[in-house]
């Protein structure tokens, strides 16, 4: 084989020699150390791909060390990732909130009152208001949809807003 151990291994026959020499040992090392669940064959192949990607930097006398280190680090990274996934699966989301029962009850009562006031609006006001505030449509889009002028839509929305504001304490819309 090559005389100069300090040459890089980018030449195909040198790389093939490295592969034939170390592939079985690397696979066996990974298999015996970590077992089948971390895919020792794939990790071995990935290590050789990394070796090929870095062939100009790795000399023949450093190839074995490079391969074993890279493959070992790949498996350790997989193990670390697996632990993170397991910890994430253990953590169940909170089924409770920090809101008091009074706050929740007030919110439900406000929502009920809001629905009642909405039902009390005229149909034109309610439709224009909900199209604008719930669906986010612009005044011109609503006017085109309803077949009225933009000024009529603005009047309906603002009159609905005024009624909601007077009927509901603390009612605000952004």
CA angle at residue 115 from 111 to 116, to 5 degrees? 115
Q: Is 78 left (phi over 0), alpha (psi -120 to 50) or beta?
A: alpha
Residues 80 and 141 in one domain: no
The count of domains in the chain is 2
* Within-domain flag for 66: yes
Of 43, 61, 90, the residue that ends a domain is: 90
* Within-domain flag for 172: no
Instruction: Determine how many CB atoms are found less than 10 A away from the CB of residue 127.
Output: 18
> Can you give the CATH number for the domain in which 123 is found?
1.10.10.10
For residues 174 and 43, which has the higher predicted lDDT (pLDDT)? 43
Q: What is the pLDDT of residues 159-168, one digit of tens each?
A: 998 888 888 8
Residues 80 and 126 in one domain: no
Sequence-separated (6 or more) residues with CB below 8 Å from residue 152: 143
Residue 172 has pLDDT above 50, yes or no: yes
Q: What is the pLDDT of residues 33-65, one digit of tens each?
A: 888 888 889 889 999 999 999 888 888 888 999
**pLDDT tier for residue 4 given thresholds of 50, 70 and 90:** low
* Within-domain flag for 53: yes
Domain with 52 in it: 12-90
């Amino acid at each position: 084989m090559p005389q100069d151990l300090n040459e890089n291994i980018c030449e195909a026959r040198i790389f093939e020699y490295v592969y034939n020499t170390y592939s079985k040992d690397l696979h066996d090392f990974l298999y015996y150390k970590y077992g089948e669940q971390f895919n020792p064959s794939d990790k071995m192949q990935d290590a050789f791909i990394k070796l090929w990607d870095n062939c100009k930097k790795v000399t023949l006398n450093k190839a074995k060390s490079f391969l074993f280190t890279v493959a070992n680090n790949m498996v350790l990274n997989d193990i670390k990732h697996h632990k993170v996934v397991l910890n994430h699966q253990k953590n169940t989301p909170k089924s409770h909130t920090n809101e008091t029962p009074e706050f929740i009850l007030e919110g439900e009562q406000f929502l009920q009152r809001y629905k009642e006031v909405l039902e009390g609006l005229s149909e034109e006001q309610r439709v224009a208001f909900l199209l604008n505030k719930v669906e986010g449509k612009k005044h011109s889009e609503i006017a085109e949809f309803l077949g009225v002028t933009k000024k009529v839509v603005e009047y309906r929305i603002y009159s609905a807003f005024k009624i909601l504001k007077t009927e509901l304490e603390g009612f605000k819309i952004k």
